[in-house]
Structure 1
C-alpha cells in the first residue's frame, strides 16, 4: 500500500482532532494545563525547560472511574505534581488517586513520583523501568511487572503492556478499554514531530514496536503521545514512517 505523505497525515490529524470535539485546555498554572477528553479522561500537560530542547510540553493522562483514579506518568517534578493532585481533589472531591503508572524511566515520566507516593498513590512500572530509575538515582516505583499488568480503577481495568523497545528499552503503553484511549508516551510521536531525544533509543526496533502496538490496539480511538497533540491511528503511522529503515 502506498505510504501517506506527511502533509496528508497532518491533514488527517487535524480533521480527527476537530471531529473529537476536544475541549479547550484548562489553565492551572504557568506550568500545568488540563485537556478534557471525556467526562472520565484528561490529558495533563506540564511545561519544563531542558538545556538541550528548551521549554517542552510533556503529556500524561488521568482516568477517573467511580471514586478511584489512575495517572499515567507524573509531571516532571513534585511541585507540578502537587498542582495536578490539588486540581484532581478539587474537581473530584470524592475521588482518590489510587494508582500511578510510569511509562519509562526518564524524568518527564517519573520526576514527580515522590508527590504521588506522599499522597498515598501506589506506583507501577516495568521491572526494567524500576531498575533504570534506581541506577539514575530517581524515585523508584513501588511495584514492578515483567510484560503486562492489569490495574483496577473502580469497576474497570487499565492494561499496561511492554511491546518492544523504541524511545527507550523499557517503554510501555497503557490501554483504557472503556474509553478506547491508548497512552503511548514518548514512543509515539505527534504528527510532524521530530525524532526528539534519542539518547536511550533503539531506532532499529522503533518502527517494528509501533507496528506491534498498532496491531494490538487497532480499536484505539484516541492515542496520546509523550509530547504534542493527541490524535488517532495517524500518529502510529507517522511514527512508523519517521523511523522506517
Structure 2
C-alpha cells in the first residue's frame, strides 16, 4: 500500500472505526437463489452467489490491526466473466482471478472500475497483466493516474453507459459526487440490482471516510439514485452487508445527519 500516499496516512484510524464491525454477507430478502459461498484458503477472498449468475466478491485487507472488507461483483454470462472492481491490491486480485477460473472455467472478459480509491482499483495491475480489458470513465482514469495507478481505459461515458456482454446488460451511471468526485454505480436491469460504493450497509451508522467526499452534494446524489432506481430490489454497498432499497434511504439519513 506504499504507493497510496495522498490522504492515506491521516485516515487509517477513521477507516478502521468505519469498518470495524464486519459481518458475514447475506443476500437480499428478494433473492430466491440458494446462497453459495466459496472462500480462499486464508479467508481473504470470498465469493457469494446472490442471484443466478451474480456473485459478490468480498476481499479483506488489514488496517491498524483490523480486517477490513470490500465488496465487488462477479457477473457470469454466455461470453465469459465481467468483474466489477479490482480488490484492495494485486495479490488479492490474483487470488480472486484464480478462484473465478476454478469455479467458472471461463475467462474474465471485462473489468469495470467504479472509482479511483484503492479498495476499488488496488488490483488493477494484475488485471492488466492478464490482458483483461479494464474500463472506467475519463474522470476515474484521470484520478487513477493522480494516485499512481495504471489508467483504466476511459471508454465509459462520464454520465451513463450501457454495456452488453453476451446475454448480460450492464448499465453504469454517475449519479453525482458523493464518497468521491468520480464514483459511479453499476445497475443490472435483469436482476434489479444496484451496486455502488457511495451506498452504506444498514450496520454503518456514520459517514465514514470523507477525505474526498462532497458532503454538500451527497444527499442530492442519493435522492437521484432513489429516483432513477426506484425499482431496485437488491442493493450491494461497497462494504459490509448487502440488502434492499432501504439501504438508499439509510445512506441518505446518515449523510444528512453529518450536515447537522
TM-score normalised per structure 1: 0.87
Please report how far the alpha carbon of residue 226 of structure 1 lies from its aligned counterpart in structure 2 after TM superposition.
0.5
Deviations 1:114-139 (A, max 9, x none): 11112222111121111111011112
Measure, in 2, the Cα distance between the counterparts of 1:134 and 1:30. 31
1:32 pairs with 2:45: yes
**Residues 110 and 139 of structure 1 are in contact (CA less than 8 Å); yes or no, is this contact kept in structure 2?**
no
Please report how far the alpha carbon of residue 146 of structure 1 lies from its aligned counterpart in structure 2 after TM superposition.
1.7
Please report how far the alpha carbon of residue 15 of structure 1 lies from its aligned counterpart in structure 2 after TM superposition.
11
1:181 pairs with 2:193: yes
Deviations 1:66-92 (A, max 9, x none): 132211111111111111111111111
- Taking a change above 3 Å as real, the CA distance of residues 121 and 178 of structure 1, as seen in their structure-2 partners, is same
1:148 pairs with 2:160: yes
Measure, in 2, the Cα distance between the counterparts of 1:35 and 1:150. 25
TM-score normalised per structure 2: 0.83
* Superposition misfits of 4+ residues, deviation over 3 angstroms: 14-22
**Residues 175 and 221 of structure 2 are in contact (CA less than 8 Å); yes or no, is this contact kept in structure 1?**
yes
Corresponding residue number in structure 1 for 2:116: 105
Measure, in 2, the Cα distance between the counterparts of 1:17 and 1:222. 6
Corresponding residue number in structure 2 for 1:171: 183
Measure, in 2, the Cα distance between the counterparts of 1:209 and 1:221. 19
Corresponding residue number in structure 2 for 1:207: 219
Measure, in 2, the Cα distance between the counterparts of 1:15 and 1:65. 22
**Residues 30 and 233 of structure 2 are in contact (CA less than 8 Å); yes or no, is this contact kept in structure 1?**
no
**Residues 64 and 153 of structure 1 are in contact (CA less than 8 Å); yes or no, is this contact kept in structure 2?**
no
- Kindly report which structure 2 residues correspond to 1:22-101, keeping only aligned pairs within 5 A, or say none: 23=35, 25-28=37-40, 29-51=42-64, 54-93=66-105, 95-101=106-112
- Tell me the SS of whatever aligns to 1:190: coil
Q: Report how many residues are paired.
A: 229
**Residues 26 and 242 of structure 2 are in contact (CA less than 8 Å); yes or no, is this contact kept in structure 1?**
no
Measure, in 2, the Cα distance between the counterparts of 1:222 and 1:99. 22
Please report how far the alpha carbon of residue 99 of structure 1 lies from its aligned counterpart in structure 2 after TM superposition.
0.9
